[in-house]
Amino acid sequence: MPLPKKVSPSTELNAKDRVYQQLRAWIITGTLAPQEKISDQAIAVLFGVSRTPVREALQLLATQEFVEMIPRSATRVTAVATDQISAIYRPLAVLQGLAAELAATKITSAELEQLTALNQSYEQAQQQNQPQAVLVADNEFHNFILKIAANQYVSEFSQLVNAHAQRIENFYLDQLNIQQPDAVREHNEIISAIAADDEPAAREHMEHNWLRSLDMLQACVDSEK
Q: What is the pLDDT of residue 180?
A: 87
Confidence of residue 95 (pLDDT cuts 50, 70, 90): very high
Please indicate, yes or no, whether the overall pTM of this predicted structure exceeds 0.85: yes
Q: What is the pLDDT of residue 4?
A: 65
- Asked if the model's pLDDT at residue 39 lies above 80, the reply is yes
Mean pLDDT score across all residues of the chain: 93
| Domains detected in the chain | 15-77 (1.10.10.10), 82-223 (1.20.120.530)
DSSP reduced 3-state for 93: helix
Pairing state of beta strands 67-70 and 37-38?
unpaired
Q: What is the pLDDT of residue 107?
A: 97
CB–CB of 39/69 below 8 Å?
no
- Asked if the model's pLDDT at residue 7 lies above 80, the reply is no
Q: What average pLDDT does the segment 9-15 reach?
A: 67
Confidence of residue 71 (pLDDT cuts 50, 70, 90): confident
How far apart (Å, rounded) are the C-alpha atoms in residues 1 and 30? 9
Buried b (16+ CB within 10 A) or exposed e, 8-17: eeeeeeebbe
- Asked if the model's pLDDT at residue 5 lies above 80, the reply is no
Q: What average pLDDT does the segment 177-199 reach?
A: 94
Q: What is the pLDDT of residue 66?
A: 97
Structure confidence by residue, pLDDT tens digits, 125-134: 999 999 999 9
